Amino acid sequence: MRGNNKKPIPTKMTIKEASDFWDEHSLLEFEGTEKVEVKFKLNKKQYIGLDRKVFQKLDAHARRQKVTPEALLESWITAKVR
């Protein structure tokens, strides 16, 4: 950490300028940031193929329920295998 040498993060940049800027800088160089350790466990997923027309119907159902097709299909399958 650099203590008092930290500066505020620039706020007015184009997307290109921001991209170039963050390619060359670390968040740790700026005020209000500190290094933290994050631990998480990834859930492994198994993917299956669906016919395009079946997927389109699934997607339409999911949109009406305001969920992702993956979440809807998982809920249907989970209910069925119980």
User: Which residues constitute the domain of residue 57?
Assistant: 52-81
- Under a CB-based contact definition with an 8 Å cutoff, are residues 8 and 33 in contact? no
The predicted structure's pLDDT at residue 67? 97
The predicted structure's pLDDT at residue 5? 66
Q: Is residue 59 part of a domain?
A: yes
Q: Is residue 46 part of a domain?
A: no
Average pLDDT over residues 72-78: 95
When pLDDT is cut at 50, 70 and 90, the band that residue 1 belongs to is: very low
pLDDT tens figures, 22-67: 999 888 888 777 788 999 998 888 888 999 999 999 999 999 999 9
Q: Which residues of 33-46 are buried (b: 16+ CB within 10 A; e: fewer)?
A: eeeeeeeeeeeeee
**Residues 3 and 35 placed together within one structural domain of the fold:** yes
What are the tokens at 32?
């209000």
Q: Is residue 45 part of a domain?
A: no
**Residues 58 and 30 placed together within one structural domain of the fold:** no
**Number of domains into which the chain is organized:** 2
